[in-house]
Amino acid sequence: MSDQGNDLKRDIELGTALGAALEMPHHGAFVTRMKALARQARPRTWDEVLAGWFWQGVLTTSMVLVAVLVGLNHVDGDATPLAGEESVAVQLIDAQRPGADVILASMTGAR
Amino acid sequence: MTGVDDSELAARASRGDPDAFGELVDRHAPMARRVAYAVLEDQEDADDAAQEGFLSAWQALGRYDPKRAFRPWLMQIVVNAARDLRRRRRVRAAEPLEYVAAAARDDPARETGEIHLGEQLRNALATLPERQRLAVVLFDAEGYPQAEIARMLGIPEGTVKSDVFHGRRALRKVLGSVKEEWDE
């Protein structure tokens, strides 16, 4: 047996026999199948990746913008009636305000 | 594409050239399938693992460093794919391995010397632990240096040396007995 004492060198005889023992049939069919699979599973190039991100980015930005606008509108909607409306008491105190006497009369039952 | 080296083909393949990748498959499939077989001990499983390994490499080519040799990089991926497949098919894989190991010990045909050398070697391989099988196949059959095998398998170089030593001992016994039969 060749190189039996030296484990840092290849045992060519054993290696050749092992290589032949492990040889698998149908190399051509395997390669053809792999090529077909590789075409289906082709990795995306950078521009394709960026293009994919572009539409996701546009969609996300649009959704964020809509959310911000809706949020702002909601805040404005809450604030406006509070600022614009005055309590009945304030309206009554202001004697110059037209209609104060009508409100007072309705509250006292027009007696 | 003969004459173009692996690194150049890998660079073209990483830019999405399927023909370049096909050439790499054509060059390295025999070794990838043998190495996968050394892990899985089954031709169909070995082909599945080699296929998964090639597809993983195809997807990962963007991360391949062309300064490193392509073949060990690919083989590391194939070994990982084969080990992963074996884990997933542990139950299925256990039966044939046990059967083959038993056949290596008890097959009556062995006594008459009628079993082909290849079959005897495969049977003897099946009796070895997976790491020893891989170490011997990668070192003696595929010609990788022990340091490269250590990197591929993620083990110390001394362990590879020891695995090669122990693996060879069993396989040389088979090879020796077959040669004796041939001489008689």
ipTM: 0.78
Nearest to B175 among A14, A35, A39 (CB): A14
A64 and A107 together in one domain: yes
Helical pair A27-40 and B43-60, crossing angle rounded to 10 deg: 40
Give the residue, B34 or A79, on which the prediction is more confident.
B34
Contact yes or no for B18 and A39 at CB 8 A:
yes
Q: Identify all chain B residues contacting A7, using CB atoms and an 8 Å cutoff.
A: 161, 164-165, 168
Question: Using CA atoms, how far apart are residues B81 and B58, in angstroms rounded to an integer?
Answer: 13
State residue B134's pLDDT score: 95
Integer CA distances (angstroms), A106 to A85, A88, A99, in order: 20, 12, 11
A34 and A53 together in one domain: no
User: What is the overall mean pLDDT for chain A?
Assistant: 76
How remote is the C-alpha of B140 from its chain's centroid?
Answer: 11
Give the type of residue at B104: A
A18 and A66 together in one domain: no
Coil vs helix vs strand at B144: coil
User: What is the overall mean pLDDT for chain B?
Assistant: 86
Helix (H), strand (E) at residue B181: helix B157-183
B132 — pLDDT class (breaks 50, 70, 90): very high
Helical pair B70-88 and B146-153, crossing angle rounded to 10 deg: 40
B85 — pLDDT class (breaks 50, 70, 90): very high
Residue A29 domain boundaries: 1-42
A29 and A59 together in one domain: no
A50 and A36 together in one domain: no
A38 and A58 together in one domain: no
Coil vs helix vs strand at A94: coil
Coil vs helix vs strand at A50: helix
State residue B113's pLDDT score: 45
Query: For A73-99, how does the pLDDT look when each residue is reduced to its tens digit (9 = 90+)?
Result: 777 655 555 555 566 666 666 666 667
For A35, residues 6+ apart whose C-beta sits below 8 A from its C-beta are B18, B21, B22, B25
A5 and A25 together in one domain: yes
Ordered by start, the domain boundaries in chain B are 6-88, 94-183
Query: For B98-122, how does the pLDDT look when each residue is reduced to its tens digit (9 = 90+)?
Result: 544 555 455 544 444 445 788 889 9
For the structural domain made of B6-88, what CATH number should be given? Answer: 1.10.1740.10
A15 and A32 together in one domain: yes
Question: Using CA atoms, how far apart are residues B179 and B168, in angstroms rounded to an integer?
Answer: 16
Interface of B with A in 94-133 (CB under 8 A): 117-119, 121-122, 125
A71 and A110 together in one domain: yes
State residue A2's pLDDT score: 46
CB pairs under 8 A between A and B: 114
A51 and A36 together in one domain: no
Question: Using CA atoms, how far apart are residues B77 and A51, in angstroms rounded to an integer?
Answer: 29
A33 and A53 together in one domain: no
Query: Domain B94-183 falls in which CATH fold?
Result: Arc Repressor Mutant, subunit A (1.10.10)
State residue A1's pLDDT score: 45
Contact yes or no for A10 and B176 at CB 8 A:
no
A26 and A38 together in one domain: yes
Q: Identify all chain A residues contacting B171, using CB atoms and an 8 Å cutoff.
A: 14, 18
A9 CB near a chain B CB, below 8 Å?
Answer: no
Minimal CA–CA distance to B125: which of B169, B63, B92, B181?
Answer: B169
| Number of domains observed in the structure of chain A | 2
Ramachandran area for residue B3 (φ above 0: left; ψ -120 to 50: alpha; else beta): left
State residue A106's pLDDT score: 72
Alpha helices in B15-107 (DSSP H): 18-40, 43-60, 70-88, 90-106
**Interface residue of B51, B168, B178, B180 to substitute, partner A, most A CBs within 10 Å:** B168
CA angle B57, B133, B160 (to 5 degrees): 85
A36 CB near a chain B CB, below 8 Å?
Answer: no
